[in-house]
Amino acid sequence: GQQLNQSPQSMFIQEGEDVSMNCTSSSIFNTWLWYKQDPGEGPVLLIALYKAGELTSNGRLTAQFGITRKDSFLNISASIPSDVGIYFCAGQVAGANSKLTFGKGITLSVRP
Amino acid sequence: DAGVIQSPRHEVTEMGQEVTLRCKPISGHNSLFWYRQTMMRGLELLIYFNNNVPIDDSGMPEDRFSAKMPNASFSTLKIQPSEPRDSAVYFCASSLGGLDQPQHFGDGTRLSIL
């Protein structure tokens, strides 16, 4: 089955810094999604991408669908303490019954 | 607007007991998903329903797990008998449309089997 790779497992940054997270796949995906999970809560959708090369922003967050369709990245600019959490990428191959595959997530810590 | 609502939020029970997790999807959403999250395996899709019909249950670990969706606003995930290795956070998600639409997650049920 498809696998998504997110690394490193944890990232530590200083408040105000920008951070970039990458997600890679061995398969070609038609859809890339980025979710954030806060402790004790479910994942919340941040950005959805549907076309190769697509660049989409949501406030301080920007995500891109890689040209090869095998990767995506998420950038967070000017980080703030509430950016702390686990960031998951998720991808879906073509097909009406294709399941969403999730990466293992990256835990982001922001030092004030 | 109310999101996906799951109950209970926490469940602690002894192995061998029956466990029932409940989910109310977002009103108007016609797809519902059950996931399990563990440190080792991350988020795994167990089963999903479309228009109340189970479409793919290939992720259900074994016969001890069963899921139902008797109507558009309610679903259950049942484990009988439960085992310690079933301990995990179980999430329900819903979407408007099929698998290719963004899924909205509930806050999960943290299940501990002693």
pLDDT tens track for A30-52:
999 999 999 889 999 999 999 99
pLDDT at B100: 73
Query: Mind telling me how many Å the CA of B91 is from chain A's nearest CA?
Result: 7
Token pair for residue A109? 């810590």
Record: contact A100-B45, CB cut-off 8 A: yes
pLDDT at A1 over 70: no
pLDDT at B17 over 90: yes
Q: Which residue of B has its CA nearest to A49?
A: B102
Instruction: For residues A46 and A44, give the distance between their C-alpha atoms in angstroms, rounded to a whole number.
Output: 6
Instruction: For residues A4 and B43, give the distance between their C-alpha atoms in angstroms, rounded to a whole number.
Output: 12
Record: contact B56-A43, CB cut-off 8 A: no
What integer is the mean pLDDT of B53-65? Answer: 91
- What average pLDDT does chain A have? 92
Q: Residue A47 in contact with residue A60, Cβ under 8 Å?
A: no
Mutation to test the B interface, candidates A100, A102, A104, A107, most B Cβ within 10 Å: A100
Q: Which residue of B has its CA nearest to A100?
A: B99
